Amino acid sequence: MSLMIAAIFDPLDKIAHLKVPLFVAVCGFCLIRMVITVGRASLPASLTLYVLTVAFLIPLLSMCIYFLRNSSNIEYAGLDYLKAYLFLVLSIVLVLSKLDVVRSLCVILTILSMLLIGVYFVATENPTLGDVLVELGNTYGVVGINQRSYGDLQILGIYFNSSPLLVLPIAYFTYRCVTTRSWSFVVSVGILAINMVAMIMSGTRNNMFVGCLTMFVTLVWYSKRKLALILAGTALSTLIAGMEWNVIRAMLSASEGSNAVKLQHVHDYLQILAEPTTLLIGQGLGAYFNSTAYGHTAVTELTYLEIVRFYGLMFSVPMFVLLLYPITRLIRSDYRQYHHLYIGYGGYLILCMANPFLMSSSGMLILSVVICNAFSFSSTKCPSTASQVARENRFGFAV
């Protein structure tokens, strides 16, 4: 739990510097427990193979390619990336400890939403204090505060680096809204609203769009009236698009600052990947390149093109397959009570198209929670949801 808190509220590990010590402590505790309970601990072979492949095999092979292709490694970020991938080992710790932390993770992220909303009101009501928060946020890499303009729309964006993860509690509490009644329903609606407001207040187009999409897909997924919801959603989206077309056009404009930078990145990647050897085996994990927008760098916002640059088609294709693999649990009925997790994870992967969070240690912690659930839990193994199975409420939703 403490490790998740550190990963979410201090993603760059610049405040308390606790992420690595906590990770080592958790792994050490797990190792001691394995020794004590030798012969009684059960670890799925498929999960072990997954972790070994994603966290060790592919990254280490890519690092070897880097050193074979480069005689000088003065600037190299491969070891930092490898350290981040190692956090995927947490999935094994969770399985051996028989912990299902999905609900706890969503509660922690809801606290992040409350903090984001609080910072928003502080920054709007007290600009001087807001400037102090901007300086602190930039110093510790936790939050960025800036004014965003999309045509006639002006938004004060409070962007926490961990805010893309809010799609997970949005999916979870949407699920809770449609599978609970009475006060539980009211509380779930309230918490869902908090997370949706925080997602919108973050100010980025990706967060706004994917947050709404995640909530809508989760509603449709658990509904028995899917067609009616899809038609209603389509009509509402068309109405909003008609009313705010100038804003939407400004958001999608190639000349908009953020879009222009991303298009420059795309051009840079296409030039790099035009070299056959790089396209096949990549430049190697952690390799630097000359970006038109960023200069000499080892990371951009375009995560998936970055993965192709690092790994080439030889290793990036398996990596993409493994990243997408947990979503296949959506076709398993015995995982239906956890389908919200995979819908939220799918939204998170969409957000990572323009966010480098995925290949960080915090990103690997989130992947650990998802694959731990995907490989180890089902409706026959997890308590607390039996009373919800096959239940339908007055809105026509069922699980």
pLDDT of the residue at 15: 81
Say how many residues make up the chain: 399
pLDDT of the residue at 37: 65
**Cβ atoms 297, 289 nearer than 8 A:** yes
pLDDT of the residue at 377: 63
In a 3-state reduction of DSSP, which class is residue 392? strand
Cα–Cα distance, 346 to 323 (Å, whole number): 10
For the chain, domain boundaries: 49-107+164-388
Cα–Cα distance, 286 to 307 (Å, whole number): 10
Digitized pLDDT (tens) for each residue of the chain, 399 residues in all: 678 888 888 887 788 788 888 888 888 877 777 777 655 667 788 899 999 999 999 999 999 999 998 866 678 888 889 988 998 998 888 888 777 788 999 999 999 999 999 988 888 888 788 778 878 877 887 888 877 777 777 788 888 888 889 999 999 999 999 888 888 899 999 999 999 999 998 888 889 999 999 999 999 999 888 899 999 999 998 998 888 888 888 888 887 788 889 999 999 999 999 999 999 999 999 999 988 888 888 889 899 999 999 999 999 999 999 999 999 999 988 888 899 999 999 999 999 998 888 888 888 888 999 999 888 764 434 433 333 333 434 344 444
Secondary structure (DSSP) of 114-166 = HHHHHHHHHHHH-HHHHHHHHHHHHHHTSEEEEEEEETTEEEEEEEETTGGGG
pLDDT of the residue at 220: 93
Q: Are strands 289-291 and 153-160 parallel, antiparallel or unpaired?
A: unpaired
